[in-house]
Structure 1
Amino acid sequence: MRTIPFLTSLILILVGLPAGQTAHAKQLYKWVDEHGNTYFSDQVPPEHVQYGRQTLNEKGRVVNSLEQAKTKEQQELDKRLQKLRAEQQKIIAEQKSHDKVLLSTFRSEADMETMLKGKLQTLDAQEGVLQGNLKRLQNLLEGKHKKAAVFERNGQKTPQAVLDEIKGLEGQIDQAKAEISKHLEQRAETQNSFKADIERYRFLTQSAGQGQAQNLSDKTAQIKAADELGLYDCDNDSDCTKAWEIARGFIEHYSTTGNDVANDKLILSRAPVNTNDLSLSVSKVQGRDNHQQLFLDIRCQQSSAGDELCAGEKVKAIRKSFRQFIEQGLAADQ
């Protein structure tokens, strides 16, 4: 086996001259190492088998291609990307389903306002019952305290039964206050959820027809998924090339670990070591309709502290900023 420098071997292939062997008798393999060196040979040495390679016929034409062997980290990333793609479709489906319910249930914003008003009135009535129960318990407790005070003024020891009643009422009052607090949170959540639905309904129905509303639903559902997962949809190849370089800057800015892999399909940071480490990566994958997508992935240390970090607001904010970061970078480049 003999490896041949790129320029010499390419000339020999093109002109059909033997390079120590008859040209028609052998296929050549072409590969590039991590330093960018290009090799041609009829055999691949063991130390180079991990590189992707092309098989060339006697005319120098590519007849087969083999992708570079993936590292363990890249294989794990592929699995995570598959999971992200599944989550993306789930988020989109849930949003579109919710939009469909809004459009089919309500005829106008007024209908939604009326329903919200009815729900809030019901919740307010329930709060009144809870407040009344709290007041009743507080009155009972006040009576027990007065009863205990009488014993103290008379120089008598307060009976244990009275003390137990006081303790029991105090516990019931704490529970009643907690129920009221939970109820108020439920009321606020109901109101906020309905207000968001009203805004959503207004957005979907601002177009002329149902078909346009459905198109808006589809588009915004995809944007929601993109922001939750860290995803950018490329408009075209040129857009994706520019976005890739911007994404590289995003990875370098937010990742606390050094670079591990960087090529035209994957930018991967080293694995997290410390509990506060963030290891970011971005992959270029094929989306629907042959549109390319850039998927952001964030890894934390495999520990309870690392899991908490990755599930926290900081990581969520980083994911959500990914699409906006790229769009702002593209706009500045114009």
Structure 2
Amino acid sequence: MLAAGPAFAKKMYRWVDDNGNVYFSDQVPPDQVQHKRETLNEKARVTNVVEKAKTAEQIAQQKRLDELRKEQEKIIAKQAANDKVLLSTFRNIEDLQKAIANKTAALDAARKVIEGNIDLLESQLRQQQQQAANLERSGSKLPDKLLNDIAASKQQIEFAKQDLQRHQLERQNSEKEFKADIARFQFLTQTQRTGKTDKSSLAASNASNELGLFVCEDAVQCEKAWKIAGEFVASNSTTGQDVESEKLIMRAAPQTDTDLSLSASLLENNNVRQIFLDIRCRQSSLGTELCASAKAQAIREAFAPYIQSQLAAQQ
């Protein structure tokens, strides 16, 4: 260790080299600027710290983390906006449930219209096919128009069934959104009434959570839960490691139609810490189906109960 004399200059620098040697000087030599250094005043108190120079790889990683944090802030801002809409639109949970019931009724009515259209088209096709069968039995040649009409009816039926599938998927997604809105509204209004979150209510909410959201009771629990969330993300993803920071754990982007890439974000809203699980699939038709599948939903539903059970096992 190389120590300074009894009296400090008005500005003194202190740093440690790669061999562990400690230096004090009023100037930093060019070959030492890469080390972390502290600026000391005349009373030997640290007034400033310059971190160790980062490698190109570390700089690139930091840039990536900064980009991810910006995206995370967007998520937080979007959640805050959604919360504001919920609280300003509905006076109580009954109003929200009534609005959801109306939306559900409208979706069901649209489904019945599509199903009715399919029934009409299938009836039309049966009549056309019966007409064709009668002509064949009589030995007559089938008119081109009839053949074209049969082909058109089959195509219309196929399109209508695809439309019904899309509608069913929309209905399922809407149900998830409705459940999310109800859970979030209850959480927000409970917090507003009490100024704090009831631990037993949180446990019940976490146990039945379908949103992939774990609400922490306090900072100590959240620290433990964050480690458990990382284990869950790793064990349920099919892709390799990508990012692990104090607020974001994310696996590599999906490369195939069967890949599931999980991520966990540590969010804070109104002093309540939450761990949010997200699932990414490849941007393809099969990937979209996978993310909307029961398998993906089961992973989401298992997230909060898994953390809860692991926390209980640690007690």
Q: Shift in Å at residue 167 of structure 1?
A: 0.9
Instruction: Return closer, same or farther for 1:280/1:86 CA change in 2, 3 Å cut-off.
Output: closer
Q: Secondary structure at the match of 1:51?
A: coil
Instruction: Return closer, same or farther for 1:276/1:212 CA change in 2, 3 Å cut-off.
Output: closer
Instruction: State which structure, 1 or 2, has the greater radius of gyration over its C-alpha atoms.
Output: 1
Instruction: Return closer, same or farther for 1:295/1:158 CA change in 2, 3 Å cut-off.
Output: same
Q: Shift in Å at residue 60 of structure 1?
A: 6.4
Q: Does structure 1 residue 179 correspond to structure 2 residue 156? A: no
Amino acid at match of 1:117: A
User: For 1:105 and 1:317, how far apart are their aligned partners in 2?
Assistant: 30
Structure 1 match to 2:188: 204
Give the aligned CA root-mean-square deviation in angstroms.
Answer: 4.9
Instruction: Return closer, same or farther for 1:328/1:307 CA change in 2, 3 Å cut-off.
Output: same
Instruction: Structure 1 unaligned segments of length 5 or more: list them.
Output: 1-5, 17-22, 221-226, 256-274, 283-293, 301-305
Q: Shift in Å at residue 123 of structure 1?
A: 2.4
Q: Secondary structure at the match of 1:186?
A: helix
User: For 1:120 and 1:98, how far apart are their aligned partners in 2?
Assistant: 20
Q: Shift in Å at residue 122 of structure 1?
A: 2.3
Structure 2 match to 1:295: 247
Structure 1 match to 2:263: 316
Q: Is the 8 A contact 1:56 1:62 kept in 2?
A: yes
Q: Does structure 1 residue 30 correspond to structure 2 residue 30? A: no
Instruction: Structure 2 unaligned segments of length 5 or more: list them.
Output: 203-211, 266-274, 279-302
Which of these residues, 107, 114, 129, is aligned with residue 145 of structure 1?
129
TM-score (norm 1): 0.59
Q: Shift in Å at residue 64 of structure 1?
A: 5.6
Stretch moving more, 165-174 or 189-198: 189-198
Q: Shift in Å at residue 103 of structure 1?
A: 2.0
Q: Shift in Å at residue 298 of structure 1?
A: 4.1
Structure 2 match to 1:195: 179
Q: Is the 8 A contact 2:125 2:150 kept in 1?
A: yes
Structure 2 match to 1:94: 78
User: For 1:111 and 1:64, how far apart are their aligned partners in 2?
Assistant: 56
Q: Secondary structure at the match of 1:188?
A: helix
Give CA deviations for 1:135-164 in whole Å, capped at 9, x if unaligned: 111111111111221232233442332221
Q: Shift in Å at residue 175 of structure 1?
A: 0.7
Q: Does structure 1 residue 278 correspond to structure 2 residue 216? A: no
Structure 1 match to 2:56: 72
- Percent sequence identity is 35
Amino acid at match of 1:190: S
User: For 2:262 and 2:53, how far apart are their aligned partners in 1?
Assistant: 30
TM-score (norm 2): 0.62
Instruction: Return closer, same or farther for 1:321/1:156 CA change in 2, 3 Å cut-off.
Output: closer
How many pairs does the alignment contain?
A: 264
Give CA deviations for 1:43-95 in whole Å, capped at 9, x if unaligned: 76766542223456898665764321111222222222322332233222222
Instruction: Return closer, same or farther for 1:98/1:66 CA change in 2, 3 Å cut-off.
Output: closer
Which of these residues, 1, 23, 30, is aligned with residue 40 of structure 1?
23
Q: Is the 8 A contact 1:14 1:60 kept in 2?
A: no
Counting only pairs closer than 5 Å after superposition, residues 246-285 of structure 1 correspond to structure 2 as 276-282=239-245
Instruction: Return closer, same or farther for 1:276/1:176 CA change in 2, 3 Å cut-off.
Output: closer
Q: Is the 8 A contact 1:141 1:170 kept in 2?
A: yes
Structure 2 match to 1:166: 150
Q: Secondary structure at the match of 2:53?
A: coil
Q: Is the 8 A contact 2:15 2:24 kept in 1?
A: yes
Stretch moving more, 51-60 or 126-135: 51-60
Structure 1 match to 2:111: 127
